[in-house]
Amino acid sequence: MEHASEHAVGRAVEYAKLFRLDGRRVAVVGGAGGIGREVVCALAAHGAEVIVADLDAAGAAAAAEAAAAEPSAPGSRTGTATACPLDVLDEDAVRAAADRWGALDGLVVTAGVNVRKRITDYTAAEFDRVLALNLRAAFTLVRAVAPAMAERGRGSVVGLASMRAFQVEPGQSAYAASKAGLVQFLRTAAAEWGPRGVRFNAIAPGVVRTPLTDQIAADPQWYDAYAQASALRRWARADEIAGAAVYLVSDASTFVTGSVLTVDGGWTAVDGRFEPTL
């Protein structure tokens, strides 16, 4: 009870501001479209100064413009968003960008790619491309920004993993491996930088309607099968993933690190292929 009392009389928490990001600088890598664009808008709506980094310069600029137009809560201000063209597979470019950004309060890595083929049909070049963008890019980005966060004693890094890090299907070999690797990489980073106040977490979405899932959406049977597999019996919208990123960057999650936040509509919690009569 003594320890509980000591904690209770510690610093006061302003719960109304728990998710606010006013004055905080957050880079969203892969922010030009899909989930990344929605994360940019959500962070800006909560007051963050967002850097929209993407190889697609025009898309990054459009996302920054959309974020600037995003309304904030009554009595609060909308943050800012600035486009930053960036090739995350160019290590020198990443280091130079990190130097320009200065010390970040948050980094959200949403860049990713998938090539759906059975293992025997995969080429080595395709395998390397998936692993490079989904895993090595995070390695490069973390090495570029985490030391400065550690010097300040704070920071939050969020990586977009996938439910495929835990549950697979034919045709997902390289993608699933890269996302499982990302989860373990972020957990290791959490262990290494935790003593210096830097947090690392992953978000694991289920099926989300973005350009990355165009191949599935084009097949009505495939689309419907995926919709019926989760507890909510539908696909996610990209904006439904953005709140998880805001949470993990904000002070609402200051004791959350080394974790995976699953946002999959209950897919991994249920067996959606058969519903028995009870």
Dihedral, 68, 71, 77, 81 alpha carbons, nearest 10: -20
Q: What is the SS3 assignment for 21?
A: coil
Q: Are strands 25-29 and 49-54 parallel, antiparallel or unpaired?
A: parallel
Q: Please provide residue 236's backbone torsions phi and psi, each rounded to the nearest 5 degrees.
A: -90, 150
Catalytic residue among 15, 122, 175, 223: 175
Side chain identity, residue 274: F
Length of the chain: 278
Tokens standing for 274? 């058969």
Question: Is-contact 48 21, C-beta < 8 A?
Answer: yes
Long-range contacts of residues 180-186, Cβ cutoff 8 Å, at least 24 apart = 181/131, 181/134, 181/135, 182/134, 182/135, 182/138, 183/159, 183/260, 185/135, 185/138, 185/139, 185/142, 185/159, 186/138, 186/157, 186/159, 186/161, 186/258
175 noted as active-site residue: yes
Instruction: Return the beta strands (E) in 169-249 as ranges.
Output: 198-205
**Residues tagged active-site:** 175
